[in-house]
Amino acid sequence: MDDGSIVLLVFLAIWLLLGWLVGRFSAEKGHGFTQGFLLSLLLSPVLAAIIVAIVPKPKGIQRDCPYCTERIPIKAIRCRYCQADLTAPHSLSSNGETRREDRSLPVF
């Protein structure tokens, strides 16, 4: 390998690493890893990171389950991850965690 191809491989590796970091940042902001990663591959990692930081987190589509903190649809009445009944009242335990008042599942 000549020096030019080594430089190109190092540049590509850095580009992919930065793209992965932007994807992680995008996922933390609520936009999704894939969107951030692809945006950074197409534009540039620095420009994509700026775009992800500026664009507000989408609201009204999903919310956090009060029991397991997974993202669920805003209109959900039962969490698909922990099976919590989201129509039942909940309270905080002594250590600050949310717990269900009634853990029984309905009989159909």
Q: What are the pLDDT digits (tens) for 52-105? A: 788 877 666 788 899 998 888 888 999 989 999 988 776 545 455 555 555 555
Q: Could you list the residue range(s) of the whole structural domain that residue 31 is in?
A: 3-54
Q: Is residue 105 part of a domain?
A: no
Percent of the chain surpassing pLDDT 90 = 8
Between 24-38, 40-54, 85-99, the lowest mean confidence (pLDDT) is in 85-99
Integer Cα distance of 55 and 45 in angstroms: 15
pLDDT reported for residue 69 = 86
Q: Is residue 108 part of a domain?
A: no
Q: Do 15 and 50 sit in the same domain of this protein?
A: yes
Integer Cα distance of 58 and 52 in angstroms: 12
Q: What is the mean pLDDT of the chain?
A: 79
How large is the greatest C-alpha to C-alpha distance in the chain, in angstroms?
A: 70
> What is the pairing mode between strands 90-92 and 71-73?
unpaired
pLDDT reported for residue 43 = 85
pLDDT reported for residue 78 = 92
Tell me the CA distances in angstroms from 61 to 5, 30, 31, 44, one per residue in order: 46, 11, 12, 28
Do 57 and 35 meet the contact criterion of CB atoms below 8 Å apart? no
Q: Do 72 and 30 sit in the same domain of this protein?
A: no
Q: Is residue 88 part of a domain?
A: yes
Rg value, the chain, Cα: 21
Integer Cα distance of 25 and 48 in angstroms: 10
